[in-house]
Amino acid sequence: MSSPASTESPEVQLFSDGACSGNPGPGGWAFILRHAASGKEMESSGGERDTTNNRMEMMAVIRGLEALKRETRVEVVSDSIYVGKGLSEWLPRWKANGWKRREGNQLKEIKNEDLWRQLDTLLFKHKVRFTHVRGHRGHVENERCDVLAVAAYQKYR
């Protein structure tokens, strides 16, 4: 990860989710930011006419991190293994390989490079750690983000 994960308690929790009707198809993203000390929350969502679920998962995290006004310790809470592994494992290797992924003995283009680059830039501004939650298993904030993300893509159906 570009910025070291903080072992301290997060100042902010960023709950995020993405959804797609078809893959590709109309998609939506949503996040909830919660300030740990005050409990104050902010939620936001948006969508795109033709996208993928992984792109929407990433957009939720990007938009949430962009909403922060200063360097912050953030716990990203998501059901996306793609985002979690990307942030914690894949991103450093892709950067070291010139934004390419290794497939056997060859270097290939990475999917969603534009969004990974945006996330990389945001990771320099914040101390981020990732926590995976199982989707659709009753996690209150994850379920709320899912409802918002689905509602966001409904206007494109």
pLDDT in tens, 9-37: 789 999 999 999 999 999 999 999 999 99
Separation of CA 145 from chain center: 12
Residue 114 annotated as catalytic: no
Asked whether residue 6 is assigned to any structural domain, the reply reads: no
pLDDT tens digit sequence for 32-53: 999 999 999 999 999 999 999 9
Asked whether residue 144 is assigned to any structural domain, the reply reads: yes
Of the candidates 79, 86, 126, 141, the residue annotated as catalytic is: 79
- How many folded domains does the chain comprise? 1
Residue 50 annotated as catalytic: no
Give residue 127's domain range.
12-154
Q: What are the residue ranges of helices labelled H in 11-110? A: 53-66, 81-85, 91-96
Pick the closest to residue 56 from 45, 42, 43 (CA basis): 45
Asked whether residue 7 is assigned to any structural domain, the reply reads: no
Of the candidates 17, 48, 75, 141, the residue annotated as catalytic is: 17
Asked whether residue 55 is assigned to any structural domain, the reply reads: yes
**Whole-structure pTM value:** 0.92
Of the candidates 57, 75, 120, 141, the residue annotated as catalytic is: 57
Decide: helix, strand or coil at residue 41: strand
Asked whether residue 2 is assigned to any structural domain, the reply reads: no
Residue 18 annotated as catalytic: yes
Asked whether residue 5 is assigned to any structural domain, the reply reads: no
Report the CATH number at residue 106.
Answer: 3.30.420.10
β-pair partners for 130: 76
Q: Dihedral sign for Cα 77, 80, 83, 89, please.
A: positive
